[in-house]
Amino acid sequence: MHGDSLSSAYGIAAKRGWVALLVEQLKHERIDYSVVNASISGEVTAGGLARLPRALSQHRPAVVVIELGANDGLRGLPVAQMSENLAAMIALSKKAGARVLLVGMRIPPNYGPQYTREFEAAFGALARRHKTALAPFLLQGVAEDLRLFQPDRIHPNEAAQPVLLENVWRALLPLLRSP
């Protein structure tokens, strides 16, 4: 798992975050994978790309989940730059022999309609271009309900974590069951 605060359980106990819930789901389903959560709060795609080669070498994953881009968007960084970084992470992961799940993100409309559209579309375009799995929107079913957010209105609270897991699980399960 290579992500940002949305996957590092920012503001809640790590054992209550969606990645920890994923570990429990794997045990429950009797699917034999270990999970390494290399997520860092505040991470942008450039930082994720810089850290990925070492993580791939150290852990030799069969599956890499990339949940990055939200902080690029919140900082208004160019979508093309974010896409290049994500594409490089996908390529590095595949070259290391891993199957890849890209987790999509959306940003609030206050960044302008063009940027908002381009940002959201980038994830699907990357998944198609690189023939990788896609979880279209991590916060599906959460983003529109302020009760599922911490007081900062950015980070999902503990009650939202099972929904985040389900949003990823649907796209991840086929990768876990393929050879």
Q: Of 5, 7, 8, 93, which one is the catalytic site residue? A: 5
Burial class (CB in 10 A: 0-12, 13-18, 19+), 54: exposed
Burial class (CB in 10 A: 0-12, 13-18, 19+), 74: middle
Element (H, E) at 169: helix 161-177
Residue 5: active-site member: yes
Residue 179 has pLDDT above 70, yes or no: no
pLDDT tens for 5-57 read 999 999 999 999 999 999 999 999 999 999 999 999 999 999 999 999 999 99
Residue 155: active-site member: yes
Radius of gyration of the chain measured on its C-alpha atoms: 15
Nearest-5° Cα angle at 22, 35 to 70: 85
Element (H, E) at 2: strand 2-3
Q: Of 28, 32, 34, 152, which one is the catalytic site residue? A: 152
Q: Of 41, 59, 130, 155, which one is the catalytic site residue? A: 155
pLDDT tens for 56-100 read 999 999 999 999 999 999 999 999 999 999 999 999 999 999 999
Residue 28: active-site member: no
Residues 86, 71: Cα–Cα separation, whole Å = 13
What is the architecture, at CATH level 2, of domain 2-174?
3-Layer(aba) Sandwich (3.40)
